[in-house]
Structure 1
Amino acid sequence: MRRRGIGAIDKGKLAKAKFAEKGTEIAELQFSQMQSQLDTFRSNLEDFAAKHKNEIKKNAEFRQHFQQMCARIGVDPLASSKGFWAEMLGVGDFYYELGVQIIEVCLATRSRNGGLISLEELKLRLLKSRGKHGQDISNDDIIRAIKKLRVLGSGFAVIPIGDRRLIQSVPGELSMDHTAVLQHAENGGYVSLSDLVREMKWETTRASRALEHLVQEGMAWVDDQTHERQYWFPSLVPDL
């Protein structure tokens, strides 16, 4: 009985080993097939890019759809300024150039907004600096260029505030309280201490600390000409 038991265990181990070996074989085959399909997709994408080169370079909306196609198969045309994409399309150079222009605009406006500018204002200033003969750019182009700037550790970040997006160009992340203050100020462009205490249900100390930090960073202006101090955010008031 004991020998039969040992034999049964040995057979069980052998069966498991065979199943494992077969499973590995199937997995390798599937991976090979997927890799082959991916290579085919990439080849077709390169052919498509070569055929529609001018549209990708000049049409912002077409360029965005092209980027989405690339992302679906794990291709990043911005990964390097050399190679096929740079030589064929100049895509990498386009975004590097745009990134430099974004830095210039953010530096030029930092004394006014403390390093916090709306995406809409940034785009208008970029279009103006590029001139009427420059390539058209979209919000998607700007955000992609900013993501590349983040790799450099330059302090750039995109902050969603309600339906709009703000671009931060100074080091240091905004806390949840700071973001909440910006969201509260989105409609009118300003907040007061009592507004935050009443509507956010915050303690006075918490609201005051968040507001003073934003003032110190230059992202908020103080207005004492009303019955209660108001904190204005130039990045949320384009007319300013």
Structure 2
Amino acid sequence: MRRRGVGIAAVKNKGITGNKFKSKGSELAEDQLSQMSKQLESFQNNLQEFASKHKNDIRRNAEFRQHFQQMCATIGVDPLASSKGFWSEMLGVGDYYYELGVQIAEVGMATSHRNGGIMNLEELRKRVMKSRGSRSGDVSKDDILQAIKRLRILGSGFTLIPIPGGGHIVQSVPGELTLDHTIVLQQAEETGYLKKSQLVNKLGWDPHRADIAMEQLVKESMAWVDTQSAETQYWFPGLFNTRADIAKS
């Protein structure tokens, strides 16, 4: 028995059905988008109420402030993006990070003659805390990182050098460090000093390569040379992370 081909009516009916599915799909998508918008608006309102209620905690408590920023990030709100607007007027957090950025820059300039413009993040945090005074509230490492990110937007020369295993070294003076320079700083971060043999034996560098990297860091005053030991040592004053060193400045 010969099968009949699909008729024109069937094709039309199939097209109509397809259009209905598309229309219904668009309708459902619009409903979902509307519901999501309402939920987002509700979340933003609740966030504003929360911020208003805990304003003092957000400004004074570093850990609380970090959690608040994470809450804001979930809905794409950046309360630190501008020193003007709702969040700044309510919390002053925009101004807080700009003010902190200025203090970080001041510490960087005040210590650059000693450390060549590089400093362990924790040491920078302690120095900023000391300059602010005890009544200004705690400052976390995350606060320092947030402020530096805003300084970098201004082209101020601040650079963050990540350390394997966590942490950062902060470069507070303009100037490009090569990959070799960055590796040297990362290797010296734990002890504050380095020998050329460490680069040769641990990293497999050619001695000439190690010499070039160290000479440039010495030239930029980021490293000091100590020839009193059996092997020359290169000390990085910006990586000394002791309370005694901070108290002397």
Indicate whether the TM-score tops 0.5: yes
**Unaligned regions of 5+ residues in structure 1, if any?**
none
1:207 matched residue in structure 2: 210
Tell whether the 8 Å contact from 2:101 to 2:151 is kept in structure 1 after alignment.
yes
**Unaligned regions of 5+ residues in structure 2, if any?**
none
1:182 matches 2:185? yes
2:98 matched residue in structure 1: 96
1:129 matched residue in structure 2: 131
1:234 matches 2:244? no
Q: How does 1:11-90 map to 2 (within 5 A)?
A: 20-90=22-92
Q: How does 1:111-126 map to 2 (within 5 A)?
A: 111-126=113-128
Bigger-Rg structure (1/2) = 2
Tell whether the 8 Å contact from 2:119 to 2:171 is kept in structure 1 after alignment.
yes
> CA–CA distance in 1 between the matches of 2:25 and 2:63?
45
Q: Which amino acid aligns with 1:28?
A: E
Deviation at 1:137, TM superposition (A): 1.6
Deviation at 1:14, TM superposition (A): 6.7
How far does the alpha carbon of each residue in 1:31-81 deviate from its partner, in whole angstroms, 9 at most, with x for none? 332222111111100000111111112222211111111112111111111
Cα 1:233/1:17, change in 2 over 3 Å: farther
Cα 1:11/1:188, change in 2 over 3 Å: same
Which of 181, 194, 199 in structure 2 is aligned with 1:196? 199
> CA–CA distance in 2 between the matches of 1:127 and 1:74?
30
Tell whether the 8 Å contact from 2:60 to 2:136 is kept in structure 1 after alignment.
no
Number of residue equivalences: 240
Cα 1:132/1:17, change in 2 over 3 Å: same
Deviation at 1:197, TM superposition (A): 1.0
TM-score (norm. length: structure 1): 0.87
Q: How does 1:5-16 map to 2 (within 5 A)?
A: none
Mean Cα deviation higher: 153-162 or 82-91: 153-162
TM-score (norm. length: structure 2): 0.84
1:154 matched residue in structure 2: 156
Q: Which amino acid aligns with 1:221?
A: W
How far does the alpha carbon of each residue in 1:120-159 deviate from its partner, in whole angstroms, 9 at most, with x for none? 2112211111122223222121111111111112121222
Partner-residue secondary structure (3-state), 1:225: coil
Deviation at 1:87, TM superposition (A): 1.2
Mean Cα deviation higher: 120-129 or 170-179: 170-179
1:166 matches 2:166? no
